[in-house]
Structure 1
Amino acid sequence: MDHEQFMRVALEEAHRAADEGNVGVGSVVVRDGDVVACGRNLVPVTHDPTAHAETVALRNASEVLGTDDMNGYSLYTTFEPCPMCCGALMNANIGSVILGGRPDPDQTRWDGYTMECLLEMCGWSDRMEVVTGILFEECMDIRQP
C-alpha cells in the first residue's frame, strides 16, 4: 500500500469518529505494509481529553503488540498531531508520521506550533520522519465540525 491507501484507512476512522459525534480525526499504525491498529478521536463521547486519534491508535497498537516500543512503525493521521500526541509518538519511538491536514500555524492555540518545530526543539528532527499533505482536502473536510 502507498501513503494514500493508508490515509484512506485513517479517513475511514475519521468518518466513524464524526458519525459518533466526535471530531473527525482518524489514525492508523502501520508496519511493513500491514495495518497494526487504528484509532479515532473519542474525546467528546468519553470526556477523556487524552483520547485523541493518535493516542487511541498507539494504545490499541501497544495492546496488540504487547510493547510500547514502535521503532520502525509509521503512524498515518488525518490531522497534524497536537503537542501531547507528538510527545506520545516520541515516547512510542514511532519512526515516521504521515499526516493529511494541518492548520495554519498562526491559527492554532499553540502560537505557531508545528510538529516539526516540536521535534526539532526536543532533538528528534532526525529520529522521526514527517510527511505532510497526503489527501489534504479530504482530511481537512472531515475534520470540520
Structure 2
Amino acid sequence: MPTDHERFIQMAIEEAEKGGAEGNSAVGSIIVEGGTVIGVGRNTALATKDPTAHAETVALRETAVALGRSDFSGCALYTTFQPCTMCSGAIMVSGISTVVMGARPNSGESPYGDFSVENLFQVSGWESKIEVVTGILVEECWKVRLDWAEKNGLNR
C-alpha cells in the first residue's frame, strides 16, 4: 500500500505528464492540507508565455484562491522535481511547512549550479521552518522528465 507521500507524488506525476503533453516542461506539484488536496499545478510556462508559471507557483496560486489566504502554514507541497530558486522563494514566503520531492538534478546538471532547496532554506534562515522530504518515487519522477526530454529532443 502506498504511503501518503507516494500517493501525492503520484498525483504530481500525473500533472507532470499533462504538462509535458501540453508542450511544457514535465513538472507537477500538489499542495495538501490535512490530507486534502488544495492546489494542483503543472508547468505552463511555455504555453502561457509566463516564465513564472512553474508547477509550484501554479499550485500556490490555486491554493491561495481555494483557501482565501496567502499563509499556507501547515500545508505540504509535493513536487516531481526539485523546485528552482524562484519557486523555493515563493515556497518560503507562502509559509509552506513541508516540501516533498521526487527527483532532483544530478550534480553538475542543474542550470543553477549546485543549488539545492535545503541550501537555499538554510542560507535564508528557513531551514527550521520547512521540512524537506526527498527520495519519494525518484525513478518514476525521473522517467516522466526523461521521457519528456527525449520526446522534445532535449538532454536532461
Does residue 67 (structure 1) correspond to residue 69 (structure 2)? The answer is yes
Gaps of 5+ in 2: 150-156
Q: Give the partner amino acid of 2:139.
A: E
Q: Distance in 1 between matches of 2:56 and 2:19?
A: 13
Q: Find runs of 4+ consecutive structure 1 residues off by over 6 angstroms.
A: none
Identity level (%): 48
Which residue number corresponds to residue 100 of structure 1? 102
| Contact residue 105 and residue 113 of structure 1 kept, 8 A | no
Which residue number corresponds to residue 57 of structure 1? 59
SS at match of 1:94: coil
Aligned-CA RMSD value: 0.9
Which residue number corresponds to residue 42 of structure 1? 44
Q: Give the partner amino acid of 1:126.
A: S
Task: Tell me the TM-score normalised to structure 2 length.
Answer: 0.90
For this pair of structures, how many residues does the alignment match?
145
Q: Give the partner amino acid of 1:17.
A: G
Which residue number corresponds to residue 79 of structure 1? 81
Deviation at 1:106, TM superposition (A): 2.3
Which residue number corresponds to residue 22 of structure 1? 24
Task: Tell me the TM-score normalised to structure 1 length.
Answer: 0.97
Q: Distance in 1 between matches of 2:8 and 2:87?
A: 19
Q: Distance in 2 between matches of 1:109 and 1:10?
A: 22
Deviation at 1:105, TM superposition (A): 3.6
Which residue number corresponds to residue 130 of structure 1? 132
Find the partner of 1:118 among 114, 117, 120.
120
- Ranked by relative contact order (alpha carbons within 8 Å, sequence separation 6 or more), the top structure is 1
Q: For residues 26-76 of structure 1, give each alpha carbon's deviation from its aligned partner in whole angstroms, at most 9, with x where no partner exists.
A: 000001111011000001111111000000000000011110100000000
